[in-house]
Structure 1
């Protein structure tokens, strides 16, 4: 084999990203078993328009909430908690035993804590002037 060459790029090809992701997924599956990764979204519409939404996935018995957004004019009405509860119910139905989420927004942090999530880690100054908090919550055992 030739001497490896490190290439840094901010425009990786989709083929390279697919190779990295696919290879890591294959390794992880051989190491700990299949992830059974499945997308999950909960959406709120008003007058035909999307006004709030949650996007994430379930894998290895966990729900990961990647994005949770509520339109500014809809905030303060409990929609974030309703979306979390809906996603958690679906995750339980998929056999999940836990959920996790992260945020650097202090208001969102309080919403997640109110919904039963507890901080298990934090990165100060990520982004500068804020702390990124990582939260988790145990879910009742599902039926699957």
Structure 2
């Protein structure tokens, strides 16, 4: 295939349909290559007595893995073990979904400690992501 007539553009405000097209095309390619991901959202929420959310996890399971995309604990609830308890709940659900592993990343030194305490091991790192910090990538066997 020739590159004649093609135009490459860069955008900081892409049309949602264009982004969805990329995701759909890649999902179709991956499913044909390695089989369907079976991707399912997974969330864990912690609410206080007044019903206010004070902590939570958002992620998904796919191809036998749990990915914890976001883990947040409100400032007033930190230091009480909520992150570990939420991870345990997410991991239990992932096992129920037949997942064999979990992964997460962080550039927060305290987060790194929390995840290691929960049994996650570093498998990679990017220095200066963001500048002055290191983004660590961690995984854990759920078998």
- TM-score normalized by the length of structure 2: 0.96
Indicate whether 1:97 and 2:97 are aligned: no
Cα distance in 2 for residues equivalent to 1:131 and 1:17: 29
- Equivalent residue, structure 2, for 1:133: 136
Deviation at 1:18, TM superposition (A): 0.8
- Equivalent residue, structure 1, for 2:45: 43
Deviation at 1:3, TM superposition (A): 1.4
Q: In structure 2, list runs of 5 or more residues that go unmatched.
A: none
- Equivalent residue, structure 1, for 2:59: 56
Residues 64-90 of structure 1, C-alpha deviation per residue, up to 9 Å, x if partnerless? 000000000000000000000000000
Structure 1 segments, 4+ long, off by >6 Å, are: none
Cα distance in 1 for residues equivalent to 2:100 and 2:29: 23
- Equivalent residue, structure 2, for 1:28: 30
How many residues are paired up? 140
- TM-score normalized by the length of structure 1: 0.96
User: What RMSD in Å do the two structures reach over aligned CA positions?
Assistant: 0.9
Q: In structure 1, list runs of 5 or more residues that go unmatched.
A: none
